[in-house]
């Protein structure tokens, strides 16, 4: 990737920063655009240009695209909390699609005709078949999922009319951290199971609440798909070659789901200490099992996860959180 330059929105956030790290390690040049409300300065590698701005700011986008010529855009900057989206659906349905398409419009005007969208498998709502492939019915049950679907539909029109080639990558739970613990997951509020379980074990967070123990699964708790954040970064890069000829969409999953209890067991195994927890009722709208297929992605790009086992994912997360119990504040 030597000599190529990419714009990464949300590149100081969790998934975006791991993509930036991967791009830099592969010899690419990167410019980050991030409003820094969820991003961290300490997650930005030395020497990387950081533009602090809103992704929907047309003037600033025009300046950025005028200052640098990009080979592609990777778009991560978005509102992303499902629960919040159900409390404030209009915010999500306005901000996420409009900001994505303002960015796409700026790319088209600048002649940057490759666009990779960090989308979501929440588009599929309550799937009828597991694992979920690309032919599954698209029927979001949250405003967050709907907002990403709106963005995807707008990008399809940008391709049809302007020739902007886009890849929409749909996945559930990004997890883990850089194995060297250079960067990792640091959200506030934190809603993801693995860091909540690790925080409970380390004593840096309250006891974990297990929402529902009576699901039709082997141990009664929900089963979910977990993808290592660096495997996601690799997938985002691999789809660039597909954009030479046409737009595409891919689901990304390990193909194997893990229950809440299995995640807790993995944290206890890796960390060598118990996960304090309490049992709670089901959360409304939580399906028993959500697992995405990556068969198409594997067949068409050669993608294979490096961190396919749950213990491998949890181990990298444990290393990050145990070394940085206050997240990036430890590095400020």
Catalytic residue among 14, 144, 226, 258: 144
Where are the CATH 3.90.25.10 domain residues in the chain?
Answer: 193-224+256-331
Instruction: Kindly report, as residue ranges, where domains of CATH 3.40.50.720 are found in the chain.
Output: 5-174+226-252
Pairing of strands 223-228, 257-259: antiparallel
The pLDDT assigned to 203 comes to 97
pLDDT computed for residue 88 by the predictor: 97
pLDDT the model gives residue 242: 97
Strand partners, 252: 171
Kindly indicate whether the domain formed by 5-174+226-252 is annotated with CATH number 3.40.50.620. Answer: no
Residue 59, class by beta-carbon neighbours within 10 Å (0-12 exposed, 13-18 middle, 19+ buried)? Answer: exposed
Q: At what angle do helices 193-202 and 260-271 cross, to 10 degrees?
A: 40
Q: SS3 of 257, please?
A: strand
Pairing mode, strands 208-211 and 223-228: unpaired
Structure confidence at residue 331 (pLDDT)? 58
How high is the mean pLDDT in each 10-residue block of the chain (332 residues)? Answer: 92 98 97 96 96 98 98 97 93 98 98 98 92 95 96 98 98 96 93 97 97 96 96 98 97 92 98 98 88 96 95 98 90 54
Question: Is 144 in the active site?
Answer: yes
The residue whose two tokens read 């206050």 is: 326
Superfamily (CATH) of domain 193-224+256-331:
UDP-galactose 4-epimerase, domain 1 (3.90.25.10)
The span from the CA of 117 to the CA of 319, in Å, is 29
Q: What pLDDT, on the 0 to 100 scale, is given for residue 66?
A: 98
Cα distance between residue 183 and residue 235, in whole Å: 19
């Amino acid at each position: 990737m030597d000599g190529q330059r990419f714009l990464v929105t949300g590149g100081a956030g969790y998934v975006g920063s791991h993509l930036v790290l991967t791009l830099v390690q592969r010899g690419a040049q990167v410019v980050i655009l991030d409003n820094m409300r969820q991003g961290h300065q300490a997650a930005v590698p030395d020497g990387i240009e950081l533009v602090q701005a809103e992704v929907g700011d047309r003037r600033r986008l025009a300046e950025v695209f005028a200052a640098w010529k990009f080979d592609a855009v990777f778009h991560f900057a978005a509102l992303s909390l499902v629960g919040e989206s159900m409390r404030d659906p209009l915010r999500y349905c306005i901000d996420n699609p409009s900001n994505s398409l303002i960015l796409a419009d700026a790319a088209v005007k600048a002649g940057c005709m490759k666009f990779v969208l960090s989308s979501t498998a929440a588009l599929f709502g309550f799937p009828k078949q597991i694992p979920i492939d690309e032919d599954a019915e698209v029927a979001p049950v949250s405003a967050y999922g709907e907002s990403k679907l709106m963005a995807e539909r707008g990008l399809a029109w940008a391709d049809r009319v302007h020739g902007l080639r886009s890849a929409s990558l749909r996945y559930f739970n990004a997890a883990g951290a850089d194995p060297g613990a250079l960067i990792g997951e640091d959200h506030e509020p934190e809603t993801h199971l693995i860091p909540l379980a690790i925080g409970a074990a380390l004593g840096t967070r309250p006891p974990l609440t297990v929402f529902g123990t009576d699901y039709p699964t082997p141990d009664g708790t929900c089963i979910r798909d977990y993808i290592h954040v660096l495997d996601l970064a690799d997938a985002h890069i691999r789809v660039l070659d597909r954009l030479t000829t046409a737009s595409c969409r891919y689901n990304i999953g390990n193909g194997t789901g893990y229950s809440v209890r299995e995640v807790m067991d993995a944290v206890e195994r890796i960390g060598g200490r118990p996960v304090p927890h309490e049992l709670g009722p089901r959360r409304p709208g939580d399906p028993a099992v959500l697992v995405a297929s990556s068969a198409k992605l594997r067949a068409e790009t050669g993608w294979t996860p490096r961190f396919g086992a749950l213990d491998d994912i949890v181990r990298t997360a444990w290393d990050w959180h145990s070394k940085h119990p206050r997240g990036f504040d430890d590095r400020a």
